[in-house]
Amino acid sequence: MDTPTILVVDRELFFRQLFSDLLGREGFTVETAESGHAALDRIKEGKVDLVVADLSTLEGGLRPFLHECRSVDPAPEVVLAAGGAERESAAEGLRYGAADYLIKPFPGEELRHRIRGVLESRKLAAENASLSRRISWLQETNSLVGILERDRFLGQAVDLCLRETGATHGFAVVREAAEHSELHGLVGFSAEEVRTWVDRLFPCIPRSDGLIHLDAETTRQFGLDKTLWIFPLRAQGALRGALVLCAEKLFSPDEKLDFLLQQIAVGFDHAWRFEQAQQLMYTDDLTGLYNHRYLQVALDQELSRSGRYGLEFALVFVDLDYFKVVNDQFGHLVGSAILCETAKLLRKCVRDADILFRYGGDEFTALLVETEDQGAEVVAERIRRTLADHRFMAEDGFDVRLTATIGYAVFPTDAEERLDLLNLADRAMYWGKTQRNVVRCIRDVPTT
C-alpha cells in the first residue's frame, strides 16, 4: 500500500512545523498549506488521504470546506484542530463529514493516535468497498460463468464487454483447426468482412494473458484500418481463440473490466471443457443428465473456480426410496420412464447454473454452484418435497408414488478435496436411509 499523504492546514508556521514533524516521524508523507483556499487547491489535485485543518484557518468557513473536500474522488478524511472556544463548531463538523477533531493544545501522542485510527478506518472502508464491488461484479457475471454452451457463452461475453468498454463493434473467434475459424457474437461486423482478415489476427496475439491493444497502423498489415482490443481465449493451457473489440475512442482497462475478463477466461475454459466432455459421451443415455464420469470433471472444475475466488458450493446426493419395489411391480420399462421423469423434476428444482448428474441406478447428484449450507438445505428440501408430491406416470395410468432420501456436503466447510466431498455427501444420504424421505447434512451424521 502507498504511504498515506497528510495535508496540514494552519496559518501559523509553528503548528505546521510541529504537526509535520510529529506525523513525519510516523512515516507519513506530509504537506502543508497556510490557508483553506490553498489547501483546497492542493486537495483537488488528488492523492491526499487525510487533512489536518485548523478551524480558524478555514477562511471560507467549515461547511463549504468540507463540502469541497467531499466533492473530490476519492475524498480525503478531515481531522479538525480547534481552540477551546471552538469546541462546539468542531463537534458540529462531524455532522458535515469531518472524521474527528482535537482541541488545542493536545499531546503529540494523541495526534498520532487519532490519525492512525482515522487512516485505519479509511483503509477498512476501502477494503469493504472493494469487496462489495467484487461481489456485485460476481453477481453480474454469475449467469455468464454458468453457461456451458459455447456459442451462447461467447455471445453474452461480447455483449458484456461492449457494454463495459463502450466499444461499438465486437466478436469472438475460436480456431478449431489451422484452416477453420468459428465466429460468435458478431456485433457491428459482418461475417464476410471479418473472414477476410481474422486468420491473420492470430499471429498478433501474444502468449501472455491479458487485454492487448492493436493500433490502426498495426491492423493495416492485414487489411483493416481500425483500432482493436484483443483478449486471448485459452482452454486447457492452449490458445483457442480471441475476443475482439473495436472502439472509436481509446479506453483504459479498469478493475471491473479486469474482473470481467477473468470471469470470461474461466467461463470459456469451462465451456471448452464441456464440449470436450460431450464428445467423450459424458451424458447419461437414459435421462439426458450428465453421468458419473462427468461428475469427476465438473467437481474438479468447480473446486478450482471456487477455491480461486473464495466461493462455496454444495454437492447433493438424491436416492429414490424403494425403487426396486417399483421395478419389481411394474417392470423395468416403467422404472426407466420414472427415472427420466425424476430427471425432469430435478431440473425444475435447481438453477440453470447448477449441474445435475445420474450417479448410477436410482441415485442422482446435484452440484449447486455458489451455494452455502443454508441454500443447499433449501434446495435439497425442495427436491425431496417435489418428488414426494409428484404422481409418477399418472398420464399412463400408473400413478406411482415415490420419495427420496437426500444427503449433502458443502465446500469448503465440510471438505476441500473431490473424493472427500463425494464420500461425505454419500454418507449423509446413507445415514438418512435409516429413516427415508428426509434431508441430511453430513454434520447431522453421528461421529461415532
Quick one: pLDDT at residue 141? 76
Highest mean pLDDT (candidates 50-59, 211-220, 394-403): 50-59
Q: Which CATH superfamily is domain 280-444 in?
A: Reverse transcriptase/Diguanylate cyclase domain (3.30.70.270)
For residue range 400-427, list pLDDT tens digits in order: 999 999 999 999 999 999 999 999 999 9
Q: How confident is the model at residue 1 (pLDDT cuts 50, 70, 90)?
A: low
Asked whether 340 and 286 are in contact (CB, 8 A), the reply is yes
Quick one: pLDDT at residue 414? 94
Classify domain 5-126 by CATH number: 3.40.50.2300
Q: What is the mean pLDDT of residues 97-115?
A: 91
Q: How confident is the model at residue 250 (pLDDT cuts 50, 70, 90)?
A: low
Q: Where in the chain is the domain with CATH 3.40.50.2300?
A: 5-126
Quick one: pLDDT at residue 53? 95
Quick one: pLDDT at residue 270? 87
Q: Which of 289, 306, 309 is nearest to 364 (CA)?
A: 289
pTM of this prediction? 0.44
pLDDT at 273 over 60: yes
Quick one: pLDDT at residue 58? 93
Task: Provide, rounded to the nearest whole percent, the portion of the chain with pLDDT above 90.
Answer: 56
Q: How confident is the model at residue 282 (pLDDT cuts 50, 70, 90)?
A: confident
Range scoring the smallest mean pLDDT among 77-91, 136-150, 381-395: 136-150
Quick one: pLDDT at residue 43? 95
For residue range 375-406, list pLDDT tens digits in order: 999 999 999 999 999 999 988 888 899 999 99
Quick one: pLDDT at residue 177? 60
Q: Where in the chain is the domain with CATH 3.30.70.270?
A: 280-444
pLDDT at 306 over 80: yes
pLDDT at 139 over 60: yes
Classify domain 150-269 by CATH number: 3.30.450.40
Residue scoring higher pLDDT (420 or 275): 420
